[in-house]
Chains A and B, each alone.
Chain A
Amino acid sequence: MTFGLGLNVHESVGDVARKSIVAEALGFDYVWISDSPSQLYGPIVGAVVAAKTSKIKIGLGVMSPFLHSPKQIGATLNTLVDAYGPRFELCIGPGDRMQLEHVGIHLIRGEKLTSKMAAARKEIASLLKKADCLEKIWLGAQGPMMLKIAKTFDGVLINFSKPEMIEWAIREVDVARNTEIGVYVTSYAYSTLNPNIRKLAKVPAAVVALGASDSVLKRFGLYSKLRNARKLAEVAPNLEKILNQVPGEVMDEFSISMRISQLPTYLTQLKRLGVSHVVFGYPQNSSLQTVKELGRTIRKLREI
């Protein structure tokens, strides 16, 4: 099993670079750098991280082919690999529907969406092959339709945290021989609970919940609980107002918050399900202390 730390690109480039140096020193295999319309441009942060570290793998994404053209995404990866060597992997996904709406991009739905994603992967892979820098391309997915096309990717990064949801998602993936299964977890593992950090998990958990497909929400009995928040999100995209409408129990379903001593059990469960890559996302990365605590634990867990 390999471990990654999701970096928070709302922070300054310097802060992100410092955390990546710590992550490398603690033995994380990857740092993942997201790219969404309201954050700093991920690939630039990726370049700074690559310059400040020497061997840690750098995952770029989720990058959306609806926000950047496949040619632009391919050129970006080509730039990084040519400058810093084959340390980069790419994760593409449609992106968060609500965030894309804010910047004038109206995401298509259904089969058109999955076809577009499959075509984007093909074009990017072909560009990277031509430039002789073919790196692993992951699919960021959680809904059943997107999961169905995962087999054409090198890996799928499932945006769920709870083992039962991950298990369902893996069943949906018609896994090809070489498709690696990873999960991107909204995570807070701690030795001493800090309620303020725990609160931070609410935002990414709610964003994942609101972006989940109807079928996922219905399957896990969350559809009616999120009805008000989703209606509000359609007309008044003010995140704070929307968050107030997301019940705490729903947020808990889309995140993990546990003592660091409970982590081995959680990871063993994931391993049994076939997960081979785990990325710990916000708010685990919110302080150097939480990064270090997790890193030290991961060192001990290498035998998993």
Chain B
Amino acid sequence: MGLSCALILRRADLDVGITTNLPMEHVLKIASFTERSSAYGIWIGEDMNRRYDIFTLTSIVMLNAPSKMVGIGVTSPAIRNITTIARAAAALAQTAPGQFRLGIGVGGLQDLARIGTSVEKPVAMLRDASETLRHIWRGSTLNQGETFELKNYAPKYNRTERIPLHFGVRGPKLLGLASRIADGVILSGPLPYIERVISIIKGAVRDRGLVNFRITVWLPTLIAGKRTSKQFAKVVAATVIADTTAEVFNLAGISEHGIEKLQRTARKRGYQAAAKYVTENLLDSFTISGSARHVCDVFDSIRKLGADEVIFGPPYGHPILGAIDKVVKAWARV
């Protein structure tokens, strides 16, 4: 009883989130700041084909925050050769042993469409990607798989330590797969949806008897108050809403008429234009914005649902380091 209470009441770890589209000046400052702070780690999201290479950027973050856990959250096997993901992850695991986590996902629908790619069998792709990556890291020689064409492929670098694999997924089938074969899941989407899926995943993971499975929640977060910040938050919310499937809206119980229009506008004219269709209700569901205290209260409610990690930012608020500092300090008081 005492032990289970301790598990339920323990605090979730606070991470800082960055993306490959963030200017290097900010990346370096955030990494160094996080290294000195009490934050648990850094997650790096891939904005496909925007500004920086996810793997190289992750190595730079690791070199500037050597004591922190650093994760890619997420990259997609749909846009890279699977062996490239494997050897990049292996190099990152060597850069700071025990500190790296790899997140994989199908990829944002809008992003994939923009680069002319689609994924027909997402469940098979992520299942095969996980198996293939783990085989490569063990140093096995691989032959043709269902999804990835490999012929007598054998890595020449050293066998790799076990790299935790996290899935960045949303739909029920992919979440089910994650709870069966991944080491963790990175969730994003409207808050009511997060609430529902955490309990589903918790149940599935408990059935498997897994104690180290990590549930991480990453929503756009912002220390805001001013009108300009709110407008910025709407653009960020539009980015997420544009990528959200009907399945997720159903799970979240959201049925707004403007969603279809927002997604169409995002596709044709970009997220800035789509932001005008973000209602107050959608904004509250898809982003966490307000004072540092408010953000941490929401984080705490997510923690109570069963999340192990919560990620702050982007878009953070202005100035970025000031906003991160406020949240780290407020979280320490929760």
Residue ranges of A at the interface with B (Cβ–Cβ < 8 Å): 9-14, 37-41, 43-48, 51, 67-68, 71-72, 75-76, 78-80, 82-83, 101-105, 131, 237-238
Q: Which of B23, B28, B53, B81 contacts A103 (CB 8 A)?
A: B81
Q: Which of B60, B95, B155, B158 contacts A79 (CB 8 A)?
A: B60
Contact B88 A44 (CB under 8 A): yes
Q: Which of A12, A41, A78, A102 contacts B55 (CB 8 A)?
A: A41
Looking at chain B, what size class is its interface with the partner chain?
Answer: 35 or more
Known contacts A67-B84, A76-B56, A102-B150, A48 near B156 by CB under 8 Å:
no
Known A40-B157, A48-B63; further 7 A-B contacts with Cβ < 8 A: A9-B157, A38-B154, A43-B56, A43-B59, A47-B56, A68-B84, A76-B53
Contact B28 A83 (CB under 8 A): yes
Contact A37 B56 (CB under 8 A): no
- Name the B residues within 8 Å of A101 (CB-CB): 151
Contact A102 B81 (CB under 8 A): no
| Chain A min CB distance to B251 (Å) | 34
B279 contacts chain A at the CB level, 8 A cutoff: no
Residue ranges of B at the interface with A (Cβ–Cβ < 8 Å): 20, 23-24, 27-28, 49, 51-53, 55-60, 63, 80-84, 87-88, 90-92, 94-95, 148-158
- Name the B residues within 8 Å of A78 (CB-CB): 51-53
The chain A residue with its CB closest to the CB of B148 is: A104
Please report the C-alpha to C-alpha distance between residue A45 and residue B58 in the assembled complex, in whole angstroms.
12
Known contacts A67-B84, A76-B56, A44 near B153 by CB under 8 Å:
no
The chain B residue with its CB closest to the CB of A101 is: B151
Contact B83 A43 (CB under 8 A): no
30 of the cross-chain contacts (CB-CB < 8 Å) are: A9-B157, A12-B94, A12-B158, A13-B94, A37-B153, A38-B154, A38-B156, A40-B90, A40-B157, A44-B58, A44-B91, A47-B60, A47-B63, A48-B59, A67-B81, A71-B49, A72-B53, A75-B52, A75-B53, A78-B52, A79-B56, A79-B57, A101-B151, A102-B151, A102-B152, A103-B83, A104-B81, A104-B151, A237-B151, A238-B152
Contact B157 A39 (CB under 8 A): yes
- Name the A residues within 8 Å of B153 (CB-CB): 37-38, 102-103
